[in-house]
Amino acid sequence: MKYSEAIAANVRAEVGRKNLSNLEVASCLGVSRGALSKRMTGMTDWKTGELVLLASILGVKFSQITEGIDDADELNHGGNPSDAGAA
Instruction: Assess contact for 73 and 2: CB atoms under 8 A.
Output: yes
pLDDT band for 86, please (50, 70, 90 cuts).
Answer: very low
pLDDT digits (tens, 9 = 90+) for 16-72: 999 999 999 999 999 999 999 999 998 899 999 999 999 999 999 999 999 987 776
DSSP 82: G
pLDDT over 70 at 85, yes or no:
no
- Angle at alpha carbon of residue 20, lines to 16 and 22, rounded to 5°: 95
The domains of the chain, with CATH numbers, are 3-78 (1.10.260.40)
Residue-level pLDDT at 34: 96
